Amino acid sequence: MPRGELSWERSVNCGFLSNFWRLLLAFAAGALSVLAFAPYSFYPFAVASLILLFLLWLDAPPWQAFREGWLFGIGLFGVGVFWMHISIDQFGNVGTLLAMIITLLFVVLMALYYGAVGWLAAKMQQRLRGPTRKLVLFSLLWVLFEWLRGWFLSGFPWLALGYSQIDSPLAGWAPLLGVYGVGLMLSLSAAALLGLLLVTGHGRPLRILLLVVIWGVGGFLNGRAWTQPVGNSISVSIVQGNVAQAEKWNRDNLWSTLDMYADLTRQHWDSDLIIWPETAVPAVASQVESSFLQPMEHEARANGSTLLLGVAEWLPDGNYYNSMIALGGERAAYRKRHLVPFGEFMPLKPLLRPLIDWLQIPMSDFSAGDSRKPLLDLAGYPAGISICYEDAFGAEVITALPEAAFLVNASNDAWFGDSLALPQHLEIARMRALESGRYLLRATNTGISAIIAPDGGIAAISPVFERDVLNADVTPLQGMTPYAIWGNWMIVSVTLSGLLVLLSGELRRGLKLARPG
């Protein structure tokens, strides 16, 4: 072991802290990491939170590391997504106290992923010699489990640390490796900085070089154009109706809502494409087919425009879909494929039917659309469509490529009031635009509607909780970013290969030392 690393092993020890203070530090690290995400966007906090957690893990036995990782996760989710209780309280018919208890239970369960990382990291580091290998191990496991959290059992990828870097130099890695690749660069940076702070000796230049490469290459790649224009630009209008969720499904408000959307749309028939939010039409499509959809379709066609609107569909096969329907050209529909568990569908429905009836969550019995490419022809170009929560899954959004000339996400975040959910969701959408190298047109009910540029920047934005029509010209694009080609499997392969190299190297070293003579 190099002399500098030996002095580090002797000097770094958090054992002087009591168990209470260690757990409190872990919780605080997770809670403070929320400041790295929108709307605060203090992205260095993400690096600092990992440095503190990794420091705690370095001298922790497995179950200690599990508790510290778990408390980190509770801090992250307890502060970062506690807004979930708003929809459960107001629309789940359970009361404020029970809504908070349900949300806390969800937080505690999601935090187990970080507990598992801590336990496995502490277990595996026992096989490794030297701080460098241990810190690299922590970084690889961190990213692997963030990906697992976004995939396992339908996935919950919210607050993956890579999203917090959308405005940092590390965002340049997103078109290559996606949000989890950005997370890897972030965790490796934390490992290198921790090593610099605590290790003396010849290893310091290598850590400095690693930081220079990670941040320098990321900064160099920031703003690089991975895609090219195809065809003429199109004019787009995004209608933000600002209909309160509590009033939206009141039957007495149906026609006032439809008239409002129609009036705002008629002022912009000169646009090539007009987009309404998710379920902007507060009825099943068949209920308003002849009275509303067909007249709007005729108007769109007469004005040479395309209207994309959100409406629920109840098809003859008995299935119920959350859909986006394109009117003006040949009518077509995209039906949401990735549904929200317990919000849009109930897992194990036969067993949980009493819970469904008790919660009385509106629109909670959808069917999933088919798995074909999520494309619709809009204003003469193929567009990749996602509805609300679907844009949190980068690997699913890129299935629309290379055909899609731009992306559309229709959402309704009114479920979560004036909370962190709104800017966090916009941040996620920005990452999708950056990963794909496409414009992303985001239409929401109460905000935040936006037109997001291919570099993840915001080209235009609507105010929150105001009725608004957002207008802009958008350039259709073609081409594939490396991430659009590889998807998440590239970063998963990198992390697994790195773990294999680390552990196999230590195994070979152990066998060599054990060999007689």
DSSP state of 267: T
67 and 115 Cβ atoms separated by less than 8 Å: yes
Q: How far apart are CA 243 and CA 271, in angstroms?
A: 23
Instruction: Tokens for 210, please give them.
Output: 């690693």
Under DSSP, is residue 494 helix (H, G, I), strand (E, B) or coil?
helix
Q: How many residues does the chain have?
A: 517
CA atoms within 13 A on the CB side of 59: 15
Task: Point out the catalytic residue in the list 5, 68, 146, 278.
Answer: 278
Task: Point out the catalytic residue in the list 5, 248, 297, 388.
Answer: 388
SS (H, E, C) 386-419: EEHHHHHCHHHHHHHCCCCCEEEEEECHHHHCCC
> Buried b vs exposed e over 424-458: b needs ≥16 C-beta within 10 Å?
bbbbbbbbbbbbbbbbbbbbbbbbbbbbbbbbbee
Cβ-based neighbours of 165, under 8 Å, separated by 6 or more:
36, 43, 46, 171, 182, 185, 186
**CA distances to 220, 372, 457, 489 from 431, in Å:** 18, 23, 9, 17
Under DSSP, is residue 283 helix (H, G, I), strand (E, B) or coil?
strand
**CA distances to 260, 412, 439 from 280, in Å:** 11, 9, 22
Task: Point out the catalytic residue in the list 5, 68, 313, 336.
Answer: 336
Under DSSP, is residue 371 helix (H, G, I), strand (E, B) or coil?
coil
Instruction: Tokens for 113, please give them.
Output: 């992923």
Name the nearest CA neighbour of 80 among 52, 57, 121, 114. Answer: 114
DSSP state of 243: -
445 and 281 Cβ atoms separated by less than 8 Å: no
Q: Which helix (H) or strand (E) holds 52?
A: helix 44-58
Q: How far apart are CA 118 and CA 98, in angstroms?
A: 30
Q: Specify whether 134 is catalytic.
A: no
Q: How far apart are CA 130 and CA 113, in angstroms?
A: 26
Expressed in percent and rounded to 5, the helix, strand and coil fractions of the chain are: 55, 15, 30
Q: Specify whether 299 is catalytic.
A: no
Under DSSP, is residue 476 helix (H, G, I), strand (E, B) or coil?
coil
Under DSSP, is residue 268 helix (H, G, I), strand (E, B) or coil?
coil
Q: Specify whether 313 is catalytic.
A: no
DSSP state of 289: I
Cβ-based neighbours of 259, under 8 Å, separated by 6 or more:
none
Name the nearest CA neighbour of 313 among 253, 378, 367. Answer: 367
Catalytic residues: 278, 336, 388
